[in-house]
Every structure is written in structure tokens, then in C-alpha cells.
Amino acid sequence: MAITLNINGSAHEVDAPEDMPLLWAIRDVLGMTGTKFGCGVASCGACTVHVDGEPTRACQTPIGSVGEAAVTTIEGLSGPVAEAVQSAWQDLDVVQCGYCQSGQIMSAVGLLTENPKPDDQAIDDYMWGNVCRCATYTRIRAAIHEASSRMEA
Amino acid sequence: MNIRTTRRGFLTGAAAAGAALVVGLKPNGSWAAAHGGAFVPNPFVRIDPDGTVTVILKHFEMGQGTSTGLTTLIAEEMDADWETIQIEFAPADTVTYMNTLMGVQGSGGSTAIANSFMQYREAGAAAKSLLVMAAAEEGGVDAGTVTAEKGTLSSGDNTASYGEAMAWVKEGATPNPVLKDPSQFTLIGTDHIPRKDSVAKTTGTATFAMDVMPEGVVYAVMQRSPKFGGTVVSFDDTAARAVPGVVDVKQTPMGVVVYGTNTWAAEQGRQALTVEWDFTNAETRSTSDMEAEYLAALDGEGLPARNDGDAAAALASAAKTIEAEFHFPFLAHAPMEPLNSVVQIADGKCQVWDGCQFHTVTQGAVGAVSGVGAENTSIETVYAGGSFGRRANFNSDYEVEATMAALALGDGRPVKLVWSREDDVRGGYYRPMVVHRVKAGVTAEGNLDAWHSSIATKSIFTGTPMGDAVVVNGVDVFSVEGVADTEYTIPNLAVDLRNMETPVSVLWWRSVGHSHSGYAMEVAMDMAAEAAGRDPVEFRQTLLANEPRTLAVLNMAAEKAGWGGDLPDGWGRGVAVHKSFNTRVAQVAEVSVTDGVVKIERIVAAVDLGVAVNPDVIRAQVEGAIGYGLGHAMRQKITFTDGEVDQSNFPDYEPLRISDMPKIEVHIVQSAEAPTGIGEPGLPPAAPAVANAIYAAMGKRVMRLPMVDDGIEFA
Ligand code: FES
Ligand code: FES
């Protein structure tokens, strides 16, 4: 039974059970690999996508629950907030292994969309669910501040 | 060398005529013609006809920055353009791409830059020399008049891009590499040049093994024994096969594999599987049983690892003594990308896609298991989502499992074996559990006179192909490193070791033995300083008088951190200094304690690693090593109940999170010494510096890791 998902602005047919997590539909069925598997239990944030603009853990989102909602993955990220975040990430060289960073960026865009001028505490609270085993956290904080000021400019 | 316009016109016509003709239009016998259109002066660099310079990376990239570091070395000596230079991972080829400090193709021990520093620079210089000589000949000018900058050669008014000049290099021309004087460096030592992997990793386009999905790929997961050393007796796959998307179930020597059309289907199938295990040779003890055995072993004799003077006599006559018993748990590496690799066995060949850390071993092991032999096994290395040591081991365990899974399926399709996070946390190859007792004695004048370390742990290297080299008289140097080779001058120093046995597999984990010895050494050192009535920094300065480089990092960290200066009420400051992998690191930690709850506020680090090739990458590695070390020291452990691992995933193997991360300052000593490594050395001093700060703030010595198990509560 095919389910239609609206991902990055286009419709995708997924022939899979309704309880398949969105993560695996995006990755293994549709072959979009920017969204990562890290824990499968909503504990690391590597799989973060936007569902109607809200950062959402794709590993715990059954495809049957998505409906018409607009799903955005790192591949489809665009707009001034995304540009500010990605350019700040690049200029500050936040990444190490990089495996968590799609999820970090998706969450950071969610944060700055909701709160364009977060302080350290607000950053820590919002980004808490995104694990980085390489511990790039000081740079993540700095890059979010930097993106915030780029958005003002 | 030609005037730019002339040459340009020529090349435009050539390019328009197509690749085959391009070769034909080049001077006969040119290097590029002999190499299919590319100029490949040596195995480390390639120049394409469009002038693109590509560096071939013999080391994998797990985040440690080698793709930037090795590229810096070649770009520097070649005067290539940093913006456009490309990177490519080397194939498995031990002779060509050997890590000269390890004797195999592989990465580890913080050796990537150390073993490549001259090799990659020479490769870059050699390539440039061929371009310069060819261009000089072509233009009829003296080679000495040709200068290079950002991929362009100039002599007077003449210029040529590397893409143009490469066509003039004659096959068989002999390079004449002349290395730059460090004063001429424009990239090496530059405070921050952009990482080569940043753009791909911020746009979701970097390819990790998890992202490799060749045509026809079958996804697989493996059910392994829940106790280390267990074997399959029988299994029932009826329910597993009924799961939609499950395509097959097979037994392999490592466990039962469930195959699916996607990872989730395979995982659902595995959960429906029932397996009966034989635990005859399995680990069935609990952590408390193991600990009792470790303690009993410590009460008995140990194997001597160091014996200077007479520690027992000096302790007996010391004015004051301290005694400490440190406990360190097993730890999983838990790299962010769960282990996985893709293996295809077809037509007598085996293809592996892997975030490969240990090419020689993996090529040999996969070649043997697949039956095609190492010579018919190719490895395509892709980005690794972290490792911390886990991806390199003497069994190449996860690549061999994927090979067995592909072999068992047996239809030539590529098989992608994926570990769940639970598989990873419970999968062994842990940092070994350690109990480390220290006795130290100080004289009436307050000098450290005696030190006796007794260590109980499982050896990492015993029984491995490298065992003979590093296990001497039963002492694995990696079990006692950081203490037996301490730089502190201690007149009476004894270190002894008890080798503990368990079927639980153990492995190097970021900084190996230093990950625990640094803690025991530096916390006990603070206790000794206190017994001597001396300041912890001043006490260490005296003991490091013969080690000027280490003394210098200690002094630098103390000065930058404002050692001895005022702190807010409830705060404490602690210091630790440790040499590992020939890199010296000192750290000063500041913690605050509010209503008994500890927050790690700031770490100031000073490092001396010789020439700092990429200072920003070095800072990043120190930041990361501090975070990795602190996360485990705060909350992480692997424990056993009746031989089964108690933890399973991040909710109970709690990683460091952003709110735990202190502010970090990294200061790098300016040095002209040969570069050493930085992936690991930032870790060992972090936890003891924090422990010493906690003591300063609240009077509590933390003797057991993780610290939460010793009553420390973190914010
Ligand atoms: S994979 Fe979804 S939160 Fe970890
Ligand atoms: S960059 Fe490696 S896990 Fe975040």
C-alpha cells in the first residue's frame, strides 16, 4: 500500500507499511542520505527533519502519521535562516566527523526561526537533544550566535 | 613557457575536441598521456587537464581533520590553490600508502600528521618541481625564474596554469623536490584555513558508509550472543521471515543474520527471531564479581613494569604517605555513525565500502573470509562518522561480519550490515575496566620521594599480531603507559601489573592506557601535593624540572587560566598535565558547586605538539577530546549483570550533551620541533583536572568513574 509523502516540495510514493519510521523511508526507500541514523530511539537528534517547519525526530515518526505535512530534509533546506546557519557552520568549521551535523543544523534552523536571538541558555535548552560524539558543542554555540547576527545584517 | 593567450587558444581547441584527442595533441611521451589524461607524479597527488589538483589521502577521515592536514602539506609545497584543491581517499595498498609509524596502512595512535609530514610535503614539492621544469623548457626560460602561486606558474610576463603545464611534463622526467623553509609557509601554521570537509558535512552531501547503497543492495542486521563468548545452538526464523520486507535469514559464525529490503525491515525481522545460545565459554560474571577479582589480584603480586630505587623502603620511611584506589569502568566508543559496511562478493572479487581505519588488516581479513584473497579485495574508503579507535581492530570485526553476511547470502548482491546503537553499546571492543592503586610518600621537606602504582586490567595487545612487539614479560605497555613512562622525576618508583582475563573484547579507546592512567596519576599527584603542603602547580613544576617542554605547557596553562587568582564563592580550580603520543598537554579546570551540584565551567588547555600544521584543527581536536573525556568521566560506563551488558543506547549510556560542555580555551606552544599527534592527547588531563577542581571546591576526592557513581551530581 503506497503512501505519498511530501518531501522537499515534491510528492514521493513510498510502498511500505504505515509504521515504518520516516527516517528509513527517506534513507533506504527514497535514497536521500543526508538525514542520519544515530540511535533510533529519539535520543540523539541525528535524524532531525522539519515537519511543517518543526524539528522532528524522523526515527520516531511513522510514515502513516505524516499525512500531507511538508517534510524538509537537509537536502531541501533553504531560506535566509538556513543560509545563515550553514554559512556560519562553514566559516567556524564546526564539523569534525560530521555525522551529527545534518541534525544539528536542522535543529539550529528551528531554534533561530523561533528565537532569532538566543542566549547560551536558550541554545543549550533547544539543542540538548542533539548529541555530538565529537563534542563540537562550543562551536555549535558560537555558530548559532554567528548565524543570529548574520540574520540581522 | 608560452604567452598565456597563445597557450589558451591551443588548449581551448584541444578541450573542445574531446578527451581522447586531448591526449593526442599533447607532446608525445608526456606524463599525462601515459596516465590517461591526468598527471600523476606520485601516489599522493594528481592533476587533471583542467588544472584541478587532487590529494590522495592515505589516512581516513573520522573527524580528526586529516583530510585538511594532509592536503595542507601538499598544497603548501605545491603552491596549489586551497579553494579548489580536492581530496580523495586512497585505495587499500599497503606498500604505497603505509603509515610509516605503524608498518601497515591504517590510522591510529595520533600518527597521521607525524608520519606524513615529510612524505606529503615531499610529494607536493616533487610535483611542483616537475611542473616548473616542464614549463621552463616549454617557454625557453630558466627554471630558476619560474615562480608558483595558487596553481599558476609565472616567469616574467609568461604565465601558465598547472593544467596547462602538466601537459608539458615528459614521461620519465625526474622530480627535484626542494622543501620550503618554514619562513616561506603560507598554509602550514596559518591560524585558520577552511576545512576541506566542511561544505559536504554541512549540506548533507558527505558520503559515509551508512550512505553507500549500491544497485541491488540488501540490508542486514545480525543477532549476536547476548553474552560475550556465546555461540548459536539453534534458531527459529518463522516469525522473522513473515515480517514484510525480510528477504532471508542465515546463520554465520558470528551470529544470525536477517536480510531485508531496508534496514528497518531487517531490524523488525531480527526482533521476531528466537535464538538459543550456548554460554559454556561465555562471560557470565557481573561487574561486582569482576571487581572483587581485580581487588584480590591487587592484593597479590604483580608483574614489574618499572622499578627505580626502592619504593617499598621509601614508602616505609616517608614522612607522610597517601593511598588511593581508582576504579575505571569498561567504556564503549559509541561513534556517532553506528558501525556498518557494505560488502559485495562476485566474480572472484570482493568490494568493500567502509569508513576504513585499518586497511591492511581489513583487506587481509575480508580477503581470507570471502575466499577471494586480499589481492582480489578492494576497499573504497568513505567518511567515517567518528571512531575513537573502534573502527580499527585486529579482527576487522564489523567488516568481517559484513563479509560473512554477504557470503552467506551468496548471490553476488552487495550486503550492507548495519549495527543498531544497541548492538554498538553491547558489542564489546571496550576500553578495558581498570582498578589502579597508588601509594605515594613525601619527605619531611615536602618532596615526592616514593610512588607505587598497582594496576589490574585486561591487556589489549596480548594474543594479537602486535603482541610480541608491545607485551614484554607479560606487561602490555598500553596497560601501564602514562605511569610506567611518567615524565615526573620520582626517585623511588614502582609500577606493577595484574593481567585480568575475560571473554569481553577490549580495544584501544581514545588515548588508550592514558585514558585511565592519566586520571590516577594526576589525582594522586594532587593528593601528594596536599600531603606535602604544596601548591599543585608548584609541586608539579619541581617534578618536571628535567622536562622543559612539559613544564612549559604546565606554566602556560597556569598563567592563561590565572592560577592562584580569585574565583567566585563555591568555585574550585584544578590542574593536570600529561604527555601522550609525544604531545604535551596541561589543563586547568574550573568548576562551580551550587547546593552540592557541580557544573564544569571552563577548561584552559596548553598544548605542545611541535609544528602546528593547522592550528584551528588542533584547537578543535583538543575541544573534542576534552568533551569526549569529560562525558565519559561524568556519566558513562558499561557494566554487566550475569554476563550481559546493562546499558543499551544513549538513554542509559548517557553521552555528553551541549549543556555539559564547558567553555574551552586552547593555547598552542609555538614550536619548530617535528609535529606529533593531537587526536588523543587532549583527553587524559581533562577528567583529573576537573576532579582536582571538584576537590578544591567541595573537598571530595573522586576515586571512581564515572563520577556520578562516586556521589557527584552534575547540573
Ligand atoms: S536516530 Fe532519531 S534521534 Fe537518534
Ligand atoms: S561532528 Fe562527529 S558526532 Fe558531531
- Would you say residue B7 has pLDDT above 50? no
Domain, as residue range, for B557:
287-330+430-714
Contacts across the A-B interface (CB distance below 8 Å):
180
Residues B575, B677 share a domain: yes
The verdict on residue B242 lying in a domain is yes
B261 CA distance to ligand 1 middle (Å): 21
The pLDDT tens digits for B669-696 are 999 999 999 999 999 999 999 999 999 9
Question: Is the CB of residue B336 less than 8 Å away from at least one CB of chain A?
Answer: yes
In which band, very low, low, confident or very high, does the pLDDT at B27 lie, cut at 50, 70 and 90? very low
Question: Which residues are registered as beta bridge partners of B598?
Answer: B593, B714
For A44, the closest chain B residue by CA position comes to B650
Residue B4 lies in a domain: no
Least trusted range by pLDDT, from B91-100, B296-305, B310-319:
B91-100
Q: What percent of chain B has pLDDT over 70?
A: 96
Q: What is the CA B123 to chain-centroid distance, rounded?
A: 24
Of B418, B445, B463, the domain-final residue: B418
Among residues B432, B255, B220, B210, which one has the least CA distance to residue B333? B432
CB B398 within 8 A of CB B417: yes
Fold matches, A2-76 and A80-152: no
Q: How, if at all, do strands B713-714 and B597-608 pair?
A: parallel
| B263 vs A24, A36, A137: nearest CB | A24
Contacting residues of A for B203, CB less than 8 Å apart: 34, 74-75, 86
Chain A residues within an 8 Å CB radius of B664: 138
Domain residue ranges in chain A: 2-76, 80-152
Q: pLDDT digit string (tens) for B169-189?
A: 998 899 999 999 999 999 999
Measured between CA atoms, how close is B71 to chain A, in angstroms? 16
Q: Does B623 contact chain A (CB < 8 Å)?
A: yes
Q: Is the minimum distance from the CB of A100 to ligand 2 under 6 angstroms?
A: yes
CB-CB under 8 Å, B205 with A133 = no
* A134 and B387 Cβ atoms separated by less than 8 Å: no
Instruction: Measure B229 CA to ligand 1 centroid, in angstroms.
Output: 30
Ligand 2 atom with least separation from CA of A135 = 4
The pLDDT-based confidence of B9 (bands split at 50, 70, 90) is very low
SS (H, E, C) A50-110: EECCEEEEHHHCEHHHCCCCEEECHHHCCCHHHHHHHHHHHHCCCCCCCCCHHHHHHHHHH
Which of B208, B264, B622 to mutate to test binding with chain A, by most A CBs within 10 Å of its CB?
A: B264
**Chain B residues within an 8 Å CB radius of A39:** 421, 649-650
For residue A39, report the distance from its CA to the centre of ligand 1, in Å.
Answer: 5
Q: For residue B2, which of B135, B166, B130, B162 has the smallest C-alpha distance? A: B135
pLDDT (tens digit per residue) in B228-240:
999 999 999 999 9
> Is B229 in the same domain as B318?
no
pLDDT digits over B576-592, tens only? 999 999 999 999 999 99
Q: Are residues B409 and B441 in the same domain?
A: no
Same domain, B479 and B496: yes
Taking the C-alpha atoms of residue B555 and residue B561, their distance in angstroms, rounded to an integer, is 10
C-alpha pair distances (Å), B545 with each of B514, B539, B581, B591, B685: 22, 11, 20, 29, 19
Answer whether B627 contacts ligand 2 (Cβ < 6 A).
no
- Euclidean distance between CA atoms B87 and B109, whole angstroms: 23
Asked if the model's pLDDT at residue B78 lies above 60, the reply is yes
Q: Are residues B406 and B542 in the same domain?
A: no
The pTM score is: 0.95
Residue B488 and residue B623 in one domain: yes
Predicted pLDDT at A1? 66
Mean predicted confidence (pLDDT) in B560-570: 97
Q: Please tell me if residue B31 touches chain A, with a CB cutoff of 8 Å.
A: no
Q: Which ligand places an atom closest to the C-alpha of B628?
A: 2
What would the mean pLDDT of B589-618 be, rounded to a whole number? 97
- Beta carbons of B386 and A97 less than 8 Å apart: yes
Residues 6+ apart with CB under 8 A from B192: A93, B615, B616
**Cα–Cα distance for residue pair B535/B542, rounded to 1 Å:** 11
On the question of pLDDT at B381 being above 60, the answer is yes
Show residues of chain B in contact with A96, CB under 8 Å: 63-65, 386, 620-621, 624
CATH number, domain of B244, equals: 3.30.365.10
- The answer to whether residue B478 scores a pLDDT higher than 80 is yes
β-sheet bridge partners, residue B328:
B434
How much is the ipTM here?
0.98
Nearest to A60 by CA among A81, A39, A32: A39
Q: Is A102 in the pocket of ligand 2 (CB under 6 A)?
A: no
Residues B49 and B373: their CA atoms lie apart, in Å, by 36
Regarding whether B296 and B406 lie in a shared domain, the answer is no
* Domain assignment of residue B6, yes or no: no
Distance B387 CA to ligand 2 centre (A): 10
Q: What is the pLDDT of residues B619-641, one digit of tens each?
A: 999 999 999 999 999 999 999 99
Distance CA B65, CA B366 (A): 27
Q: Inter-chain contact B195–A93, Cβ cutoff 8 Å?
A: yes
Task: Give the pLDDT score at B225.
Answer: 97
- Chain B, residues 498-557, CB within 8 A of chain A, namely none
pLDDT of residue B5: 30
For residues B516 and B616, state if they share a domain.
Answer: yes
- Dihedral of CA atoms B198, B199, B204, B205 in degrees, nearest 10, equals -110
Q: Is residue B9 part of a domain?
A: no
Q: A2-76 has which fold?
A: Ubiquitin-like (UB roll) (3.10.20)
B361: left (phi > 0), else alpha (psi -120 to 50), else beta?
alpha
Contact present, B76 and B178 (Cβ < 8 Å): no
B674 Cβ under 8 Å from any chain A Cβ = no
User: Do B204 and A100 make contact, defined as CB atoms within 8 angstroms?
Assistant: no
Q: Kindly state whether residue B423 falls inside one of the protein's structural domains.
A: no
Residues of A in Cβ contact (< 8 Å) with B261: 28
- Tell whether B669 and B595 lie within a shared domain: yes
CA-based nearest residue to B366, from B348, B379, B347: B379
Name every chain B residue with its beta carbon within 8 A of the beta carbon of A125. Answer: 659
B616/A93 CB distance under 8 A: yes
Ligand 2 centroid to Cα of residue B388, in Å, is 11
Q: How confident is the model at residue B371 (pLDDT cuts 50, 70, 90)?
A: very high
Q: What integer pLDDT is reported at residue B22 of this predicted model? A: 29
Contact A31 B213 (CB under 8 A): yes
Same domain, B229 and B102: no
The partner residue sitting opposite A74, judged by closest CB among B203, B219, B627, is B203
How far from the centroid of its chain's Cα atoms is residue B76's Cα?
24
Ligand nearest to the CA of A136: 2
Give a yes or no: residue B120 inside a domain.
yes
Q: What percent of chain B is predicted at pLDDT more than 90?
A: 91
The pLDDT of residue B10 is above 70:
no
* Length of chain A (residues): 153
Q: Which CATH architecture has domain A80-152?
A: Orthogonal Bundle (1.10)
Q: Compute the distance from residue A130 Cα to the ligand 2 centre, in Å.
A: 10
Residues B229 and B366 in one domain: yes
Task: Among B393, B418, B443, give the residue marking a domain's end.
Answer: B418
- Low-confidence residues in chain A, pLDDT < 70: 1
pLDDT reported for residue B465? 87
Q: Please check whether residues B236 and B299 belong to one and the same domain.
A: no
A2 Cα to chain B: minimum distance (Å): 14
What residues line ligand 1, using a CB cutoff of 6 Å?
A: A 37-40, 42-47, 57, 59
| Number of domains forming the structure of chain B | 3
B617 within a domain of the structure (yes/no): yes
The model's confidence at residue B454, banded by pLDDT at 50, 70 and 90, is: very high
Residue B344 has pLDDT above 90, yes or no: yes
Looking at the CA of B621, which ligand is closest?
2
Mean pLDDT score of chain B, rounded to an integer?
94
* Contact between chains at B659 and A125 (C-beta distance less than 8 A): yes
Which pLDDT band, with edges at 50, 70 and 90, does B30 fall under?
confident
